[in-house]
Amino acid sequence: MTETHRPHLPAPGRRLPVSTYRLQLGPDLSLAQAEALLPYLDALGVTDLYLSPVLQAAPGSTHGYDVVDHSRISEVIGGRAGLESLAAAAHARGLGVVVDVVPNHMAVPTPAWHNRALWSVLGHGPDSPYARWFDIDLEDSEDGVLMPVLGSRIGDVLASGELTLDRMVVPSEPAAGEQPVLRYYDHVFPVRPETEQLPLADLVDRQHYRLAYWRVADEELNYRRFFDIGTLAAVRVEDPEVFDATHALLLELHAAGVIDGFRIDHPDGLADPRGYLRRLHEATGGAWVVAEKILEGDEELPSDWPVAGTTGYDAAWRLGALQVDAAGSTPLAALQYELTGEAVNLDTVVDDAKRQIVTTSLYAEVHRISTLLADICHDDVRLRDHTFRALQDVVVELLVAFDRYRTYIVPGEPVPPASERTLHEAAETARARLEPERHDTLDVVVDLLLGTEVGSAGRTLEPRRAELLVRFPQVCGAVMAKGVEDTAFYRWTHLVSLCEVGGDPARFGIDPDELHAWAGHVVATWPATMTAGTTHDTKRGEDVRARINVLSELAPEWVSLVHTLREATAELRPGDLDGRTENLLWQTLAGTWTAAGPIAADRLQGYLLKAAREQKSWTTWTAPDTSREEAMLAYAAALLEHPAVVEAFTAWVARTTEAVRATVLSTKLLQLTVPGVADVYQGSEITQTSLVDPDNRRPVDHAALAARLGALDAGARPGGLDDEKLQLTAAVLRLRRRHPAAFVGADAGYEPLPTTTGHAVALARTTPAGPRVVAVATRLAAGSAAARGLPDATVVLPEGPWRDVLDDTTIPGGPCRLGDLLAARPVALLEKLS
């Protein structure tokens, strides 16, 4: 098959990864330390390094997504010299380098001078050479940039003397010499020229920024944020000059051959995602680029995006759902109701969560959209009777009704049919929730959001109407992220492994036919996309999700176990323990309790505290109920040592050992063999108990992994599931490296293989010469039906002979009894013998 039949591949001559290994750079992993890992990663079979953001980040950053300087490689991780040295060493081994790019925002650091561009804007306002960088209209803003950093209201801060005038040499501007600054504890701000001699209150009032109480941010913030995070200010990369300035170093390193490809963080936050990606495509000459795009339900990545695909959440949720038994839905739903007392469905939980977000932490963004609409209507005599209140009601209902991150409508261009359909579907949902008197206003707003002519003729391309087309989708994405993934997914505890980034918990399991249909579509349309199991953003690692998925197969037993343990620990349980949090707690114990016992109490408590506050039902980050939190955390810690709990979970681990083994290995095998570039998150080549960040960003003992892999390669038998997963991961990655054309590129093919049971999934990866690799995985191994039917079932292999890569035996083609093929392990990996 020629490349013209396979879109979204890198340009000729540009590198196409076969597999990637994600490394979280930072204080615990420098570029030099990453370079020292190359022998291990090479031995593992990886073809490309996948680095977290490398640009200079805010002081103390542990992740790199809070960039402060686009012109420097982070000094903490080793600077430009460190990156060039790592890349040279990697390239010498034939390994490529992919870098994570953060185009949407920059940090608002403490002190502010760490961000030279922001410091300049704060000090000089519209006259700053960086004035166009940030998403705020400095010319029309009376107060300048809102800086909501004060612990109390500005009047109290001035009266208390906490805000002082000082002089210093600003490290980011040493040539300017000593200059006046305003200090508020660790915060430092520039002083506008010629205001230094004013009385302090007048001086504060005359700046290009407004110092404010931190709670003001949710209602009056006048710069676009990353979601609702006030310390991350949005950047206008749609401006060609800003794009050039913020990407110059990375593009220089790409042109020099240091960087081979890019992962783009949250493009949905940009004014024009497609326009940005086209500019990047042109600037890199068609490099391999993947976009962190969350696809909802049956949503498709826009086909006119010049990218290789997504970062793999669409693969991760399907592979997880494949191991969820639909028969467990009713018992687990009954338990959820018993613990929470809520007779609600997921749609209601999502709607409530989104409604809470648009009226609290994202109110400032909603108010900004409503004000923009009100200004548009006020200036058009034909629209003037649509009031601010009516417009705001419509905006709220539309945002709540949206079932995906955003539309992709560009001012002055035809509306994509998918975006038009999405907006109309949301409008019909909103219409049912609005008073009839608001329906006319809804129609006007929808027309304005589609860029169609409404009101007076000839006004479709007015600047404010164009701005609305840009800003509304950006707010949609923020509401989805904060309302669904960071709120509803912590409230919905039916089976928490389904509540994952990019997941679809409304789907309680999928079958092999659905997986094959999806994979066939991907290989035909996005053959170089990424597949993922665990990422730095997942709420639970792939193995934690696998253990929790097993609950669906043994749901009645699990419900009985929870009843027993609730009774055994009733005296310890706080009387006001939130039911959602309790159900989450029990499932988290099941997901993290292994043969070695439970995770450490501080890790469990840290996770539960974050989950409870993200849930935003009984405690929040901004208004924590500390007494209830302390009681919850004490109860959780006590459970880890309670004799009845220890005994019960020790027995549960023994009961589920084989099912967990089958789920972990099968999910990993499929993730590494379905269409796309297979990613391995650092450390996930063995089993992990990782929870949401920062837990999933803990340092990895790569030296121990290298030693373990070396022993396996020398002939040692696997000593447990960790060894089995490592051995399997290495075997698949090495096989991919031997047969890259079967896995990625224009000629890579995918062929479902027939089985006589739903408890196995089989596939072949092909080239024009025929099948080259076969993967067979067990599905839903815990059930009695699997135990009875799987051994005598068959899979039809392509014409052989085949070599079993994991035990070096030869297998003929044609019908093969699964009891023979999977006798030693729940998965099989076969390579065609020539």
Number of Cβ within a 10 Å radius of residue 806: 18
- In the chain, % helix, strand, coil (3-state, to 5) comes to 45, 15, 35
Q: Give yes or no for residue 6 having a pLDDT over 70.
A: no
Phi, psi angles (nearest 5°) of residue 10 = -60, 155
Q: Hunting for tokens 């709220």 — which residue is that?
A: 396
628-687: per-residue pLDDT in tens? 999 999 999 999 999 999 999 999 999 999 999 999 999 999 999 999 999 999 999 999
Tokens at 588, concatenated:
């988290």
Q: 728-748 burial string, b = 16+ CB within 10 Å, else e?
A: bbbbbbbbbbebbbbbbbbbb
pLDDT for the residue numbered 477: 95
pLDDT for the residue numbered 609: 98
Question: β-strands 187-190, 288-291: how paired?
Answer: unpaired
Arithmetic mean of pLDDT over the chain: 95
Q: Which amino acid is at 406?
A: R
pLDDT for the residue numbered 476: 96
pLDDT for the residue numbered 695: 96
Residue range 331-356: mean pLDDT, rounded: 94
Q: Give yes or no for residue 3 having a pLDDT over 60.
A: no
pLDDT for the residue numbered 222: 74
pTM for the full predicted model? 0.95
Residue by residue, DSSP assigns 319-385 as HHHTT--GGGHHHHHHHHHHHH-----HHHHHHHHHHHHHHTTTHHHHHHHHHHHHHHHHTSTTTTT
Q: Hunting for tokens 């010319």 — which residue is that?
A: 139
The Cα–Cα gap between 514 and 319 comes to: 11
pLDDT for the residue numbered 791: 86
Residue range 768-796: mean pLDDT, rounded: 89
Strand partners, 166: 181
Residue range 524-542: mean pLDDT, rounded: 97
Residue range 576-591: mean pLDDT, rounded: 98
620 vs 343, higher pLDDT:
620
Q: Give yes or no for residue 615 having a pLDDT over 90.
A: yes
Q: Hunting for tokens 């945002």 — which residue is that?
A: 399
At how many degrees (to 10) do helices 626-641 and 579-592 cross? 30
Of the pLDDT bands very low, low, confident and very high (cuts 50, 70, 90), residue 308 is: very high
pLDDT for the residue numbered 141: 67
pLDDT for the residue numbered 415: 95
Residue range 724-747: mean pLDDT, rounded: 97
pLDDT for the residue numbered 2: 36
34-85: per-residue pLDDT in tens? 999 999 999 999 999 999 999 999 999 999 999 999 999 999 999 999 999 9
Tokens at 301, concatenated:
């990545």
Q: How is the beta sheet containing 760-767 ordered, strand by strand?
A: 749-752, 760-767, 770-778, 827-832, 802-804, 809-811
Strand partners, 229: 226
Q: Give yes or no for residue 5 having a pLDDT over 60.
A: no
- The SS3 call for residue 170 is coil
Residue range 156-179: mean pLDDT, rounded: 94
Residue range 424-437: mean pLDDT, rounded: 97
Percent of the chain with pLDDT over 90: 91
Of the pLDDT bands very low, low, confident and very high (cuts 50, 70, 90), residue 368 is: very high
808-822: per-residue pLDDT in tens? 999 999 999 999 999
The Cα–Cα gap between 520 and 763 comes to: 11
Residue range 139-153: mean pLDDT, rounded: 84
The Cα–Cα gap between 271 and 267 comes to: 9
pLDDT for the residue numbered 227: 66
Q: Hunting for tokens 């659905």 — which residue is that?
A: 514
Q: Give yes or no for residue 4 having a pLDDT over 50.
A: no
pLDDT for the residue numbered 140: 63
